[in-house]
Chain A
């Protein structure tokens, strides 16, 4: 029988926040709230809040469906309707869920969108995704926000201005028209102040992995920690309160010298410290995590937790430059970074968090992450002489999670790390 996961207060808080959001969504028609579908990278939570809209994140629905073992049926439904086996499984899971009545992960129906806010940030598939949804929801207003790519590892004034012009001339007027609410910049600024506070806190939280043992797992638990900041609560007091609580729990763990909490309780021994690139597999999330914690491997940093915003290089929302700040936020999400920037960021994590190794979980249906990962691995291996590992799985399609393959590969990788450790210790002696 599966063991009941341990729950801390922050986990309960998060559950309440998410349940509340889905309840509000289910009642959106009654309350008259407008519903805005959008994506995690480049999510304009503060602007959505300024117009009192409720956000829906199709990626989150897809991953939640996968964790509840529902994604296979949804994907099958989409594939029956001409969707290729070889494309993003988030899209197919979402389309399949819609075809089956759009019942969300909590069992409540998700309302149709009033706005499809196409934050085209770091992922080309987003564009195709909402083109597809527009055909299914002809009454929804699609609002495109084109986020320029950081091709030269910088956000130039031209890029920022391009985005600000889009906000001023396209996004905001269209949001005003749909919601009937006038744009209130002071309200946006208040949300941005709270957003910054949450960003400061989450940065401190992920920085705690510098401790030995690391009090948290920055990948498997990290995906829960980024929940509130990424799924519509950034810019709210609730998110700030959640992160304060979480930070205080982690501080207590540090004080007690405890390692991360896993679904089977506390991790007893930290043998390996790793940095992971790429999203996790959601269909077998617990089994996947277990392979790591059974081997005493803790993830001290991951690129995936930066997909909704990169805060560890110091960037924050700035309420004195509200629209410019929204633009910079979008441009600064992980998958909108160039490959050399990604390499530098991961290298920094490996060095600063004293990682023993670097593992890539390459996702079959996510080119935004996967294309270029092998080149990144080679560069990081050359630059830092750190052992690299490589596994393959998928986001929400259970057909592409091969437990034994992944386990075999990781066991070999851990043996290599062990061997390396022995050699190092011998050299010291």
Chain B
């Protein structure tokens, strides 16, 4: 077994290898393998796996990639991630990818799919229209058709006809993957000092750019390590991060929040890897239906999913309660419509519920954290000092 440090170092490198070399090497090992890039938030990676491919997370260039060409495609008042994805594409970081999936999360990502199509980047570009109707016989059927389109594109490239057995096998692997990630979060809920949030982040993000088999091996080892009483407990409050599900904060910012006095006991940084709550049925005779049902009935709340029948503010409040968190930090990427438009809904509800929160905005390439760190520090101190005081509804 590798040491935890060795594992974390490996994952850290993989997470920010913007040339996706491990995925490329995997593809070159065997003929017929395909690489499919997917944008945030969620995509059912199981189906790519079953078709002999690998779904590779494309989460932008962070604070590593300098943006020059991408800025020519996006106005200053549009979030940062589309310009950094364009930069990666135009600088040929993803030339070995066969296709690209753009999940339906907002107008910017949707229109980015059109720019990819227009510029003929990849052998296929698929805008994945996730259903906003949650009846299995309506939205569920439509979602299955969307997945079939993806499989058709892959079959055109590698000729693989996906079987029920292959799909169930893939579902099983990803179920295990999510189970182990859940386990890590459960440990962190009670013992957050055993593994820092930045390490958790790297470990989970690495799973989006390597095979699920390899990632499962890594997770198994991480789970073993953190069962032990490691690390040193510090005097920090527990908080939940919400709103950072697409454009990812810079690593320095993720670290700064914890350094400023907050143990992050839950977050939506890599929401896609944790979107399905619980297992997908891996024994179905219609696995696409099983994946679809899981999405419809077992999804985590998300700013991109119509929520009228299951309001998100109560779901986040439940996470706060279940995790024993002291408050919430709403971290939104600048100009992120889904996250920012949800802010009043959450904040008005939390004012009434007496859940403490702060909010700030960031950009993936932000490299000055002082102001945010001070804000987070003051939030942590206020909770430590006055946690017993009732929060007044505004």
Interface residue ranges, A against B (CB under 8 Å): 78, 81-84, 86-88, 91, 95, 118, 120, 123-125, 127-129, 131-132, 134-135, 142, 144, 146, 148-149, 151, 158, 162, 165-166, 169-170, 338-340, 342-343, 362, 364-365, 367-368, 370-375, 378-379, 392
Interface pick from B19-27, B111-119, B201-209, B381-389: B111-119
Cα of A362 to Cα of B77 in the assembled complex, Å = 10
Tell me if B135 and A170 are in contact (CB < 8 A): yes
Cα of A52 to Cα of B14 in the assembled complex, Å = 60
Among A132, A151, A362, A365, point to the contact of B344 (Cβ < 8 A).
Answer: A132
Cα of A120 to Cα of B131 in the assembled complex, Å = 11
Interface status of B166 (Cβ within 8 A of chain A): no
In the complex where A146-B132, A151-B127 touch, is A124 in contact with B338 (Cβ < 8 A)? yes
A417 to chain B, nearest CB (A): 23
Cα of A86 to Cα of B348 in the assembled complex, Å = 18
In the complex where A125-B107, A127-B306, A372-B114 touch, is A87 in contact with B337 (Cβ < 8 A)? yes
For A78, A86, A123, A125, the residue with the greatest tally of chain B CB atoms inside 10 Å of its CB is A86
Name the B residues within 8 Å of A342 (CB-CB). Answer: 114
For A132, A151, A162, A165, the residue with the greatest tally of chain B CB atoms inside 10 Å of its CB is A151
For the side of the interface on B, what is the size category?
A: 35 or more
Q: What 0/1 pattern do residues 338 to 364 of B give for CB contact below 8 A with A?
A: 101111110111000000000001000
Interface status of B13 (Cβ within 8 A of chain A): no
A224 to chain B, nearest CB (A): 26
Name the A residues within 8 Å of B32 (CB-CB). Answer: none
7 nearest CB pairs, A to B: A339-B114, A128-B341, A151-B127, A372-B111, A146-B132, A82-B344, A84-B340
B18 to chain A, nearest CB (A): 22
Question: Looking across the interface, which residue of chain B has its beta carbon closest to that of A79?
Answer: B344
Name the B residues within 8 Å of A129 (CB-CB). Answer: 341
Among B75, B127, B337, point to the contact of A128 (Cβ < 8 A).
Answer: B337
Can you name 22 A-B pairs with beta carbons within 8 Å? A82-B348, A83-B343, A84-B341, A86-B77, A86-B334, A120-B306, A128-B337, A128-B338, A131-B307, A131-B308, A142-B308, A144-B132, A165-B137, A169-B135, A169-B138, A170-B138, A339-B113, A364-B77, A365-B77, A370-B78, A372-B112, A374-B72
A156 to chain B, nearest CB (A): 9
Within B272-319, the residues touching A (CB, 8 Å) are 303-304, 306-308
Name the B residues within 8 Å of A169 (CB-CB). Answer: 135, 137-138
Additional 13 contacts, C-beta under 8 A, given A118-B306, A371-B78: A82-B348, A87-B340, A124-B104, A144-B308, A146-B133, A149-B104, A151-B126, A338-B127, A362-B75, A370-B77, A371-B111, A372-B111, A375-B119
Question: Looking across the interface, which residue of chain B has its beta carbon closest to that of A394?
Answer: B77
Tell me if A149 and B127 are in contact (CB < 8 A): yes
Tell me if A135 and B107 are in contact (CB < 8 A): no
Interface status of B182 (Cβ within 8 A of chain A): no
Cα of A162 to Cα of B107 in the assembled complex, Å = 21
Interface residue ranges, B against A (CB under 8 Å): 72-75, 77-78, 82, 104-108, 110-115, 117-119, 126-127, 129, 131-133, 135, 137-139, 141-142, 145, 303-304, 306-308, 332, 334-335, 337-338, 340-345, 347-349, 361
Tell me if B117 and A338 are in contact (CB < 8 A): yes
In the complex where A127-B306, A374-B74, A379-B118 touch, is A151 in contact with B113 (Cβ < 8 A)? yes
Cα of A368 to Cα of B108 in the assembled complex, Å = 7
Question: Looking across the interface, which residue of chain B has its beta carbon closest to that of A143?
Answer: B308
Tell me if B131 and A375 are in contact (CB < 8 A): no
A277 to chain B, nearest CB (A): 13
Question: Looking across the interface, which residue of chain B has its beta carbon closest to that of A368?
Answer: B107
A180 to chain B, nearest CB (A): 22
Tell me if B133 and A124 are in contact (CB < 8 A): no
In the complex where A88-B337, A128-B338 touch, is A135 in contact with B118 (Cβ < 8 A)? no
Cα of A60 to Cα of B337 in the assembled complex, Å = 21
Cα of A392 to Cα of B77 in the assembled complex, Å = 10
The majority secondary structure among interface residues of chain A is helix
Tell me if B344 and A158 are in contact (CB < 8 A): no
Cα of A84 to Cα of B113 in the assembled complex, Å = 26
Tell me if A86 and B118 are in contact (CB < 8 A): no
Tell me if A86 and B340 are in contact (CB < 8 A): yes
Question: Looking across the interface, which residue of chain A has its beta carbon closest to that of B114?
Answer: A339
Name the A residues within 8 Å of B340 (CB-CB). Answer: 84, 86-87
Tell me if A371 and B112 are in contact (CB < 8 A): yes
Name the A residues within 8 Å of B337 (CB-CB). Answer: 87-88, 124-125, 128, 367
Name the A residues within 8 Å of B119 (CB-CB). Answer: 375
Name the A residues within 8 Å of B107 (CB-CB). Answer: 123-125, 367-368, 371
In the complex where A367-B111, A372-B111 touch, is A81 in contact with B344 (Cβ < 8 A)? yes
Cα of A144 to Cα of B74 in the assembled complex, Å = 31
Name the B residues within 8 Å of A367 (CB-CB). Answer: 78, 106-108, 111, 337
Tell me if A162 and B138 are in contact (CB < 8 A): yes
Tell me if A128 and B342 are in contact (CB < 8 A): yes
Name the B residues within 8 Å of A374 (CB-CB). Answer: 72-75
Name the A residues within 8 Å of B132 (CB-CB). Answer: 120, 127, 144, 146
B12 to chain A, nearest CB (A): 31
Cα of A169 to Cα of B347 in the assembled complex, Å = 34
Name the B residues within 8 Å of A170 (CB-CB). Answer: 133, 135, 138
Name the B residues within 8 Å of A132 (CB-CB). Answer: 341, 344-345
A303 to chain B, nearest CB (A): 13
Tell me if A124 and B75 are in contact (CB < 8 A): no
Name the B residues within 8 Å of A87 (CB-CB). Answer: 337, 340-341
Name the B residues within 8 Å of A338 (CB-CB). Answer: 113-114, 117, 127
Cα of A88 to Cα of B340 in the assembled complex, Å = 10
Name the A residues within 8 Å of B82 (CB-CB). Answer: 371
Cα of A78 to Cα of B115 in the assembled complex, Å = 33
Question: Looking across the interface, which residue of chain A has its beta carbon closest to that of B347?
Answer: A82
Cα of A372 to Cα of B72 in the assembled complex, Å = 10
B362 to chain A, nearest CB (A): 13
Question: Looking across the interface, which residue of chain A has its beta carbon closest to that of B72?
Answer: A374
Cα of A95 to Cα of B129 in the assembled complex, Å = 28
Cα of A392 to Cα of B72 in the assembled complex, Å = 15
Name the A residues within 8 Å of B105 (CB-CB). Answer: 124
Among A123, A131, A151, A392, point to the contact of B306 (Cβ < 8 A).
Answer: A131
Name the B residues within 8 Å of A88 (CB-CB). Answer: 337, 341
Cα of A368 to Cα of B104 in the assembled complex, Å = 13
Cα of A82 to Cα of B349 in the assembled complex, Å = 11
Name the B residues within 8 Å of A78 (CB-CB). Answer: 344
Name the B residues within 8 Å of A392 (CB-CB). Answer: 75
A205 to chain B, nearest CB (A): 29
Name the A residues within 8 Å of B131 (CB-CB). Answer: 146, 162
Cα of A124 to Cα of B340 in the assembled complex, Å = 13
Tell me if B139 and A146 are in contact (CB < 8 A): yes
A153 to chain B, nearest CB (A): 9
Name the B residues within 8 Å of A134 (CB-CB). Answer: 308
Name the A residues within 8 Å of B138 (CB-CB). Answer: 162, 165-166, 169-170
Cα of A148 to Cα of B142 in the assembled complex, Å = 10
Question: Looking across the interface, which residue of chain B has its beta carbon closest to that of A335?
Answer: B107
Cα of A91 to Cα of B345 in the assembled complex, Å = 13
Cα of A84 to Cα of B345 in the assembled complex, Å = 12
